């Protein structure tokens, strides 16, 4: 069977990685979202995504931050989230979210002017290495996992991201890493061969957006955005609970991951800036026990009742 790139499957479980990022000023968190699409299922996934858009919206850029009221964008996003839920359970896609808690993050770089850039690039690398280690340790995989291509949206630090990928141990062919536009029309103009791939960047954006906004209060006027959250919140809340997140019998185990960094810790500058992710993990600085906004409201009501 031919895969996403028209190749025949080989000795590996081949996946293509799509990356997106999001800033949340309300919570002072920064997020990297990484979507792994199984190459063998890529054509099927793309067809469903594009079909859900319909002919009139085929070239639309579906971005979570542009979803407000209930309209065609929210309806498409809800369909995609339903697909994603099913694909996660079937192992056709995997999704990894790394949320950086800037409230607890020291400026280990001894400067302020490049603080945001350093955060971005440091956790871009940590995220890819971490997701590869986690997902490749899935006993249900019939073959070793391999990332064959990496696509990231045109934006900040295009060249720096490619240089970072070059040094990652988990990636063999860094030359197959390149930026693409989430906007299909722009991508068609830049490189028509990757025109359809822009839809998978959009799917990454929707999955990351619904995760990010699950932890903050939504403007009541943004009905469409809230509807998206409501249809995916149960998946997210499985993985912001340490006890539920590690259940090996879960249909989502090793297929969806939600991690935050750091807890308030005494990690040293030398440890943090080390290229060895193990030096950071040993300090216990990753966590997932962060209540969603829905859970925060429930806890507040419980406190009132107990009082």
Phi/psi at 15 (5° precision): -130, 150
pLDDT value at residue 33: 97
Q: How far apart are CA 174 and CA 19, in angstroms?
A: 14
Half-sphere exposure of 223 (CA within 13 A, CB side): 5
SS3 content of the chain, % helix, strand, coil (to 5): 45, 15, 35
Q: What is the residue whose two structure tokens read 């822009």? A: 198
- Output the DSSP codes for 142-187: SS-EEEEEEEEESSTTHHHHHHHHHT-TT-S-GGGEEEE-SSHHHH
Residue 275: CB atoms within 10 Å: 11
Q: How far apart are CA 84 and CA 105, in angstroms?
A: 32
- Output the DSSP codes for 212-246: HHTTSPPPTT-HHHHHHHHHHHHHHHHSSSHHHHT
Please classify residue 304 by burial: count the beta carbons closer than 10 Å to its beta carbon, then call 0-12 exposed, 13-18 middle and 19+ buried.
exposed
Residue 178: CB atoms within 10 Å: 16
Closest CA to 99 of 176, 7, 184, 211: 211
b/e per residue, 226-248, with b = 16+ CB within 10 A? Answer: bbbbebbbebbbbbbbeeebeee
pLDDT in tens, the chain (307 residues): 567 776 766 778 899 999 999 999 999 999 999 999 999 999 999 999 999 999 989 999 999 999 999 999 999 999 999 999 999 999 999 999 999 999 988 888 777 778 889 999 999 998 998 898 899 888 888 888 889 899 999 988 988 898 888 777 556 545 588 899 999 999 999 999 999 999 999 999 999 999 999 999 999 999 999 999 999 999 999 999 988 888 888 999 999 999 999 888 778 888 888 777 777 766 668 899 999 999 999 988 654 444 4
Q: Compute CA distances 118 → 23, 104, 114, 121, 262, whole Å.
A: 14, 15, 6, 5, 15
pLDDT value at residue 85: 98
Q: What is the pTM of this model?
A: 0.93
pLDDT value at residue 170: 58
- Contacts of 122 by beta carbon, 8 Å cutoff, 6+ apart: none
Length of the chain, in residues: 307
Q: How far apart are CA 190 and CA 171, in angstroms?
A: 25
Report the interhelical angle of 223-238 vs 72-90 (nearest 10°). 10
pLDDT value at residue 156: 84
């Amino acid at each position: 069977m031919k895969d996403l790139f028209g190749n025949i499957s080989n000795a590996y479980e081949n996946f293509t990685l799509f990356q997106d990022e999001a800033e949340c000023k309300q919570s002072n968190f920064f997020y990297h979202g990484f979507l792994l699409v199984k190459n063998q299922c890529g054509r099927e996934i793309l067809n469903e995504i594009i079909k859900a858009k319909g002919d009139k919206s085929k070239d639309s850029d579906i971005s979570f931050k542009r979803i407000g009221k209930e309209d065609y964008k929210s309806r498409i996003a809800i369909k995609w989230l339903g697909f994603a839920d099913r694909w996660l359970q079937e192992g056709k896609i995997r999704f990894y979210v790394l949320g950086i808690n800037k409230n607890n993050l020291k400026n280990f770089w001894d400067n302020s002017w490049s603080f945001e850039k350093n955060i971005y690039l440091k956790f871009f690398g940590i995220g890819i290495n971490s997701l590869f280690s986690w997902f490749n340790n899935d006993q249900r995989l019939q073959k070793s996992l391999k990332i064959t291509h990496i696509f990231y949206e045109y934006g900040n630090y295009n060249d720096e991201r490619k240089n970072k990928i070059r040094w990652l141990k988990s990636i063999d062919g860094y030359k197959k890493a390149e930026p693409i536009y989430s906007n299909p029309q722009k991508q068609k103009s830049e490189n028509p061969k990757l025109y359809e791939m822009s839809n998978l960047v959009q799917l990454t954006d929707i999955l990351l957006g619904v995760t990010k906004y699950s932890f903050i209060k939504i403007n009541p006027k943004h009905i469409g955005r809230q509807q998206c959250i409501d249809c995916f919140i149960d998946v997210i809340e499985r993985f912001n609970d340490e006890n539920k997140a590690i259940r090996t019998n879960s249909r989502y185990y090793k297929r969806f991951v939600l991690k935050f960094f750091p807890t308030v810790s005494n990690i040293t500058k030398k440890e943090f800036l080390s290229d060895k992710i193990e030096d950071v993990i040993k300090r216990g600085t990753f966590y997932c026990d962060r209540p969603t906004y829905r859970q925060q409201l429930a806890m507040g009501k419980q406190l009132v009742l107990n009082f």
